[in-house]
Amino acid sequence: MLSAFGMDGDEIFAAMSRAHSLVTDEETVRGMGEFTNACPAADKRKADAVRGTSEWLAGAGTASMIYMYRDDPSALNSWAALLDRVLTQPPCYRDLADWWLFFSALEAETGFQLERCTSRKGEQGLTAHLLEALATQGKAWSEVIAPAVARNGATLAISDIDLQVGGGEQVTGGDFGLILDFDGRMVQPGARREVEERRIIPLIFQAKRYARPTASVSQANKLRGPQLNLLAANDCASAYIFYENLGDQETPLPPLVKPAESVRSPTTTDVLEDSIDFATYLLRAATNPAAAPRARSPDDALRMIFSKALPSDLSALVVVSSDPTATNRYRSSWSMLQHMLRHHGSEGEEVHEQN
């Protein structure tokens, strides 16, 4: 099994059992169920998101999908079936980093949903809690597959790049950037290719609190126009992330992500329309180039994020990686980019709410 999957039988069983334990946990079921109950189309939408490409599937994953289809074609639209028979199974993934990413984000978003969104907080505080939970769960889930991580010389880590280094301004919003950088170290030995396996995916999120089912998206910059237009024009995948923190729901929805291009009004949007949860969004972004453009290098990833955003627009920049050197490389690239931005100047940054 080591030569095929990069894990032995005991390691696969331990990882699979931990993943099954999470998706069948009462709190996780409650959290996912809230989205399904509020939006009956949610489960099929999430299933479509992970089935948008087969590139992330290893041979075992492709076989599982085929068997599911043969047994019951409708099972491919069942989120519960995909979780049970594909997503929880490490051998189904070409790159084990994707398995780690999904379950780190799923546990993080569930704790955030049920523990943090139940009391009123500002968007910056909510974003800080979500990213803190993601980093914590990243460490925990890396430990689940620690032998495979060590065997491949990888470091599965979620680290913060300090945007205030070098005199940057402290921001008060909750918007953030996130870069997925997987260098191929965790690709199954039996699925490796001759070509470069590195994937660098820069993402940018505009955070909004809301009361179900509608969120305001009316923020604008006096010089650069509506925030929606800025997001949609970005070179990287850009989306709103919605935190249900203004209503009186006993169980809030999970953090929901809606691509900027799916928001059609410059003032409000239906949060449940065309959105998926944060963990599923990250998995789709990591595995489907059509959903999230790739960068060529760390420098290029930062350029894509800041092609329309200013450093003062973001409260955080997080790197999710399998490369032990990734954090230092991004910190170095950020310092260089910040130096260039200071010397080239920037537009006015005043943001206001449209009436």
- pLDDT higher than 80, residue 348: no
Average pLDDT, the chain: 90
* Model confidence pLDDT, tens digit, residues 100-119: 999 999 999 999 999 999 98
Per-residue tokens: 66: 């085929």
Q: How open is the CA angle 355-311-155, to the nearest 5 degrees? A: 125
Predicted pLDDT of residue 171: 56
Q: Which residues contact 219 (CB under 8 A, 6 or more apart)?
A: 206, 226, 227, 351, 352, 353, 354
More confident residue, 26 or 354: 26
What is the average pLDDT across 22-45?
Answer: 97
Angle between helices 278-287 and 96-111 (to 10 degrees): 160
- Name the pLDDT band for 347 (thresholds 50, 70, 90): very low
Predicted pLDDT of residue 352: 33
* Model confidence pLDDT, tens digit, residues 161-186: 988 754 444 455 789 999 999 999 99
Please give the model's pTM, rounded to 2 decimal places: 0.92
- Name the pLDDT band for 308 (thresholds 50, 70, 90): confident
Predicted pLDDT of residue 210: 96
Q: Name the residue among 92, 131, 98, 114 with its Cα closest to residue 254.
A: 114
> Quick one: CA dihedral 184, 87, 277, 263, positive or negative?
positive
- pLDDT higher than 50, residue 16: yes
High-pLDDT (> 90) share of the chain, %: 74
- pLDDT higher than 50, residue 94: yes
More confident residue, 274 or 195: 274
What is the average pLDDT across 74-87?
Answer: 96
* Model confidence pLDDT, tens digit, residues 190-247: 888 877 789 999 999 999 999 999 999 976 555 455 555 666 678 899 999 999 999 8
Distance of alpha carbon 243 from alpha carbon 259, whole angstroms: 15
Predicted pLDDT of residue 212: 93
- pLDDT higher than 50, residue 354: no
- pLDDT higher than 80, residue 296: yes
Predicted pLDDT of residue 156: 97
- Name the pLDDT band for 350 (thresholds 50, 70, 90): very low
* Model confidence pLDDT, tens digit, residues 115-132: 999 989 999 999 999 999
Predicted pLDDT of residue 112: 98
- pLDDT higher than 90, residue 67: yes
